[in-house]
């Protein structure tokens, strides 16, 4: 998402061209749009619908059906909580609530495939295994404090 707006539009246009503006490539195009913009705004969804000649309701319906699409800009930090059965049994739902209340962007995974390490939380790409509430709160707080530290301070 580091490209300027005009460059993002060109890249999205190229993605649609690659798929010949076909409606059956909608999911791939939505993924490309989210990767370029960080999230799917309503105006972006309308533009995609117009260019693919699809009803806006169909584009919105597909986008909202899949949990991987975001409709608001992500926060500076992201935490992904596995909610698979093993993680859920070990308290992942409570961990998701901690993330939700922290101001971080919460993502959920239905199964990360690390059941022996449950509950699993991935904070900004770093996996926390057998995570307790206290460990997660500490990790979220440490990132928040280092982000808000005055210039030149350690952290």
Q: Which residues lie below 8 Å from residue 31, measured CB to CB, with a gap of 6+?
A: 68
Q: What is the pLDDT of residue 154?
A: 47
What is the model's pLDDT at position 25? 95
Is residue 58 predicted with pLDDT exceeding 80? yes
Regarding whether 53 and 83 lie in a shared domain, the answer is no
Contact 39, 71 (CB under 8 A): yes
Q: Is residue 105 part of a domain?
A: yes
Q: 3-state DSSP call for residue 149? A: coil
**Spatial distance between the Cα atoms of 122 and 104, rounded to a whole number of angstroms:** 12
Q: Residue 20: which domain range?
A: 5-65
Which of 41, 65, 89 is the endpoint of a domain? 65
Residue 65 has pLDDT above 90, yes or no: yes
Domain-located, residue 121: yes
Domain boundary (65, 86, 109) is at: 65
pLDDT band at 155 (very low <50, low <70, confident <90, very high): very low
Q: Of all residues in the chain, what percent carry a pLDDT higher than 90?
A: 72
The total number of structural domains that make up the chain: 2
Asked if residues 38 and 1 have their Cβ atoms less than 8 Å apart, the reply is: yes
Residue 88 to residue 100: CA distance in whole angstroms: 16
């Amino acid at each position: 998402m580091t490209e300027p707006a005009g460059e993002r539009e060109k890249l999205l246009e190229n993605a649609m061209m690659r798929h010949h503006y076909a409606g059956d490539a909608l999911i791939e195009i939505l993924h490309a749009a989210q990767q370029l913009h960080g999230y799917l705004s309503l105006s972006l969804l309308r533009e995609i619908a117009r260019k693919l000649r699809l009803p806006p309701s169909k584009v919105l319906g597909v986008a909202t059906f899949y949990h991987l699409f975001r409709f608001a800009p992500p926060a500076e930090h992201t935490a992904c909580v596995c909610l698979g059965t093993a993680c859920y049994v070990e308290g992942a739902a409570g961990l998701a609530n901690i993330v939700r209340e922290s101001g971080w962007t919460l993502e959920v995974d239905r199964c990360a495939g690390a059941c022996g390490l449950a509950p699993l939380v991935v904070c900004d790409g770093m996996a926390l295994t057998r995570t307790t509430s206290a460990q997660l709160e500490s990790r979220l707080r440490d990132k928040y404090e280092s982000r808000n530290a005055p210039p030149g301070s350690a952290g």
